[in-house]
Amino acid sequence: MLLSLSIKNYALIESLETDFSNQFSVITGETGAGKSILLGALGLVLGNRADLTSLKDKEQKCIIEAQFSIANYNLQSFFDENDMDYDDKTIIRREILPSGKSRAFVNDSPVNLQELQELGAMLLDIHSQHQTRELTEENYQIDILDAVANNGDLVNSYKNALNAFKATQKELKTLLAEKENLIKEYEYNSYLLNELLTANLVDGEQEELEQELEQLSNVEFIKENFDRILAIANEEQVGALINLKEIKIALQKVSGFSTQNSQLLERLTSSLLEVEDIISECEQNNEKIIADPERLELVNTKLQTIYNLQKKHQVQTITELLVIQNELDAKVIRVDDLDNVIHKLQADLNSKQDKVDEIAKSIFENRKKTAPILIDKIKAILSQLGMVEANFQFEINHTESFFTKGKDEVILLFSANKGTSFGLLKKVASGGEMSRIMLAIKAVLANYSKLPTIIFDEIDTGVSGEIAIKMGEIMKEMSASMQVFAITHLPQIAAKGNSHYKVSKRNQGDTTVSELNLLNSEERVLQIAEMLSGKDITESALQHAKALLN
């Protein structure tokens, strides 16, 4: 329940602090006095969007703070799930800064608007003329049925099952599209893959083949130079090796005379061994060099194949070609694998649809069973409100479509008088009838809803006299199980409140301010008398006011 409300620098309100009772409270005041401002402030606490026009003084921040008693409403888990600090007496604070930025806090912990809206929806219901119009909408009619049918858990289970079904359905749709595309590309991918496989590519072989091609293309030139090397090295009289050996013999003869000569001999000996080894390898290479036109043609063909594939796939190396080969291989194999995956996914989808259908069927059965019970309860209250012949009919059709709260299409039909045919509520009910119907529904829902507080904003539109008295009594009865506020222009309803608050505005210097005051007994008599007769309060109005209060 709402314990207190504090407003600073909001619209016409400079500063306001008010405590509330847990029973039936009425709020009255002249048109334009600021009743809508109070609702606007509470709307901000519930998570409505804010803007700079809300600030009375544009240089100061606006602060709206509401304290709620929530000990009896099982909200601990919501606080835990949203990482909020729980307190039996929870304070919600909303701040609007001069910069236009808005901040929200729950028990001094910052929260975002979505969290605030979710919490607010569990604490307070502001019933306005807009919500009366909502009564004609299918979703609202379904919510009423589900509240009385206690379908909350079933609807949540349905939503979870539907989300799982849609996720699987989306996954299956994606795979089917992928398969269709792969099938279209299958032949082309297979052709590209076979082309790469036929090339029998080996990572790193391109460089080896290019070297081999270079050698095979220059056999005569290479052999000619190797022959020259060997001739120079091994010529009988003046060969390089023979001369080096002669130099070695001469150094051997003088090496014993100095360390320097000995070192020269060692260096020459080492060099001679290296030269002999080089000449030996030159001889071996020379023997291997054979003109091989067939091998030349083979190497040239293989390299040309590699170059063509690189150009086709717009890459530079065999490594990149092998990556493409693996990707193509995976795509070709994927077509076969997808059939198995799709088959399993289709079976899973069917199973999930069966679950959704099963839950939706239970929701439908509960709604059909509850509809006549709800209608009887609404009619019983409406008969007290002067609509003795009013009757309703729920048309509930179980469809094949998946809606957010089941598979049902719901139409609420209404007949105001005996013998008249049923018609759509929004077409056949007057404004006054709609107000009474909505009050009856709210009164029924009070026995099923866990909502701690409801505010009726001029639900008395289009009614007066004895009907207004009865509406006040019904709201007072509702306050036995929940906190009820009524913003009203009717003295008959105002008189039924356990507490009576008056909204008024006055001039303060160069500005106008709104105030909210709790009336005492004498002030209350005067206020109701004024509602009866206007500013010029008559003695009969005072007596009538006292009679209404008694």
- pLDDT tens per residue, range 382-411: 999 889 999 999 999 999 999 999 999 999
pLDDT of 537 higher than 80: yes
Judge whether 34 and 514 are in contact, CB under 8 Å. yes
540, two tokens: 């009969």
Mean pLDDT of 13-41: 86
pLDDT of 460 higher than 70: yes
Mean pLDDT of the chain: 87
Euclidean distance between CA atoms 193 and 439, whole angstroms: 74
Euclidean distance between CA atoms 498 and 495, whole angstroms: 8
Which tens digits make up the pLDDT trace of 29-54? 887 777 888 888 898 988 888 877 77
More confidently predicted of 496 and 218? 496
Euclidean distance between CA atoms 507 and 501, whole angstroms: 20
Confidence (pLDDT) at 63:
92
Confidence (pLDDT) at 236:
61
More confidently predicted of 63 and 72? 63
Mean pLDDT of 139-144: 90
Q: Of all residues in the chain, what percent carry a pLDDT higher than 70?
A: 98
Mean pLDDT of 114-131: 85
Confidence of residue 501 (pLDDT cuts 50, 70, 90): very high
Confidence of residue 196 (pLDDT cuts 50, 70, 90): confident
Name the CATH superfamily for 1-123+461-519: P-loop containing nucleotide triphosphate hydrolases (3.40.50.300)
pLDDT of 414 higher than 80: yes
Judge whether 219 and 302 are in contact, CB under 8 Å. no
Confidence (pLDDT) at 381:
93
Euclidean distance between CA atoms 103 and 112, whole angstroms: 8
Euclidean distance between CA atoms 278 and 230, whole angstroms: 10
Q: Do β-strands 423-424 and 406-415 pair in parallel, antiparallel, or remain unpaired? A: antiparallel
Euclidean distance between CA atoms 455 and 470, whole angstroms: 18
More confidently predicted of 424 and 240? 424
pLDDT of 267 higher than 80: yes
Mean pLDDT of 347-373: 95
Residue 481 backbone phi and psi in degrees, to 5: -115, -5
Confidence (pLDDT) at 297:
81
Confidence of residue 375 (pLDDT cuts 50, 70, 90): very high
Mean pLDDT of 334-352: 87
Q: Of all residues in the chain, what percent carry a pLDDT higher than 90?
A: 36
Euclidean distance between CA atoms 84 and 87, whole angstroms: 10
The CA-CA-CA angle for residues 35, 39, 45, to 5°, reads 150
Which tens digits make up the pLDDT trace of 272-328? 888 888 888 887 877 777 776 777 788 788 888 888 888 888 888 888 888 888 888
Mean pLDDT of 423-444: 88
What pTM did the predictor assign? 0.67
Which residues of the chain are in CATH 3.40.50.300 domains? 1-123+461-519
Confidence (pLDDT) at 94:
93
405, two tokens: 């709260």
Confidence of residue 447 (pLDDT cuts 50, 70, 90): confident
pLDDT of 134 higher than 90: no
> Is 355 in a helix, a strand, or coil?
helix
462, two tokens: 């289009």
Q: How many CB atoms lie within 10 A of CB 292?
A: 12
Confidence (pLDDT) at 215:
72
Which tens digits make up the pLDDT trace of 516-527? 899 999 999 999
